[in-house]
Amino acid sequence: MTATLKLLAGKDKSIKARHPWIFAGSVSDVSGRAKPGDTVDVVASNGRPLARAAWSPESQIRARVWTFDPNETIDHAFFKRRIAAAIARRDALPELRAQQGLRLIHAESDGLPGITADRYGDTVVVALTSAGAEKWRAAIIDSIYKASGCARIYERSDASARSREGLAIVTGWCMGEAPVEALVIEENGVRMSVDIVAGHKTGFYLDQRDNRRRVGELSANKRVLNCFCYTGGFSLQALKGGASEVISVDSSGPALATAQHNLALNPQLDATSAIWHEADVFADLRARHNANEKFDLIILDPPKFAPSAAHAERAARAYKDINLQAMKCLNPGGMLMSYSCSGGISVAHFQQIIADAATDAARTTRIVQRLQGAADHPVDVAFPEGEYLKGLLLQLD
């Protein structure tokens, strides 16, 4: 028999607004026996049915909603429908149809909390990060395999979010076998290798696809500095766009080695215009300012400084620091492309951080364009937390 999760009085507003998370502080009680990942019926304090959700007793997010229809059955067929619908939504967008690298499932924003799936050619990488997703692992993997038409599926359920759900790390092939050749995709006319086993996330940052193309459009005859360059996605697009020089900085030697390998995959690009530098970006930007180095375009795409709102204050200082130092290194008329992928930093907060940095740098700074994730990373309007990637393209006097 399905257990029932009753909310405290007045704590049903977010569920009525179709927000998929139920926090511990909103729960009155759970009647019946529910194991981690089990489906529970969510009801208001007066007993009125609201939704059906996956129970997660180890997490502060006690339940994640599968459906806001209290009568919908959560079974294998449910995941088959939801996963097929997510893939169909992407097929309906012309700009996504020919992409070799594509996010097929974007968790809560596709109505599938804790489930992420990225396709690289005929290989799909799946990450399951919630107790509910873990419970339905077999149905999820089977449905993705059939709906995507892929040849193989690799699981990368190794994010820190799993520990908060009381789940162990799980990685490895779950459908098909490892490809004979290294995995390489083409994006915006540039070939990039994808390390699905040891790379960040599922092996590549697909969310920045459109923004990497934008860098190429802005780079002709420019001196470009790419900070936190990782495996060189922005750098190679800058070279493709005709940059006169591209300096790429990262603290990871292995990432820089992969970036140079990616450059070698693209003999059409001018390798003599690329400089790779292993260093701490904070210290490197200060050193370049002290040396009076100037650039026409600087890209700041740092790692997640604030995984939650509790880390926001410290993260804000870090974001301000790197943006301030970057502004000091820009020529008049130069452009800064700055990002935050921290869920704990809102769009408005990020813009204020940039404004504060501009004030301290004594530079007039204008927003040319607001930047976000690509179209295969949609954001459910009822789930603003899904808008983790936010960016600004700025021009400085």
Q: Are 361 and 325 in contact (CB under 8 A)?
A: no
Contact criterion met (CB below 8 Å) for 115 and 78 = no
DSSP string of 313-366, one letter each residue: HHHHHHHHHHHHHHHHTEEEEEEEEEEE--TTS-HHHHHHHHHHHHHHHT--EE
- Strands of the sheet containing 330-340, edge to edge, are 274-278, 245-250, 223-227, 295-300, 330-340, 390-396, 365-372
Distance in angstroms (rounded) separating the CA atoms of residues 365 and 374: 25
3-state SS assignment for residue 273: helix
DSSP SS3 for 130:
coil
Contact 121, 183 (CB under 8 A): yes
Q: How far apart are CA 141 and CA 104, in angstroms?
A: 13
DSSP annotation of 213 reads H
d(CA 45, CA 284): 56
Which class for 219: exposed (0-12), middle (13-18), buried (19 or more C-beta within 10 A)?
A: buried
Choice among 227, 229, 329, 341 that is catalytic: 341
Sign of the torsion formed by the C-alpha atoms of 309, 315, 316 and 319: negative
The yes-or-no answer on residue 229 being catalytic is no
- Computed from CA positions of residues 80, 85, 88, 89, in that sequence, does the dihedral angle turn out positive or negative? negative
The burial class, CB within 10 Å (0-12 / 13-18 / 19+), for 6 is: buried
Measured CA to CA, the distance from residue 278 to residue 123 in angstroms comes to 31
Residues marked active site are found at 341
